[in-house]
Amino acid sequence: MYKHWKKIALAITAFFWNGCSDKPSSSEEPIACTLNMECPVYGVIYDCENEEDYQSPDIDSKCNIKPSTCGTHYQCEDGAYCYETTKNNADVIYCPDEPDNSVTYSEKDFFSKYYIKERY
């Protein structure tokens, strides 16, 4: 044993060093979000410039029709309202806050900060 003390010391040091990380440990708990899946009831979404055109009987001539798709939205306890979208051919989660302040997360980054508490 006396003959191999350097190897033993090196092995013990390597074992404890392996537990160390370059990243600071995060003590922040993930924030809860509610997941909402929203789909248009009739399969048509209108995009109108004037608010009153949504109630117009000739809405088809006054407004543009957008293709109907389902949307995934996250309402989080920290006040964030985010939705899934595609940006630069990648699926991302976009969280607009103010016109000049918004955050775009990859799915991995979003779910490292938030978790789904409820689904609707």
Tokens 């607009």 map to which residue? Answer: 96
pTM > 0.85:
no
pLDDT in tens, the chain (120 residues): 667 677 676 667 766 666 665 555 555 789 999 998 877 666 667 778 888 887 888 888 888 877 666 788 899 999 899 988 888 888 899 888 776 778 899 999 999 999 998 876
**Alpha-carbon distance 52 to 42, whole Å?**
20
User: Residue 65, CB half-sphere, CA atoms under 13 Å: how many?
Assistant: 10
3-state secondary structure of 11: helix
**Alpha-carbon distance 50 to 101, whole Å?**
26
**Contact, 68 vs 43, CB < 8 A?**
yes
- Name residue 88's amino acid: N
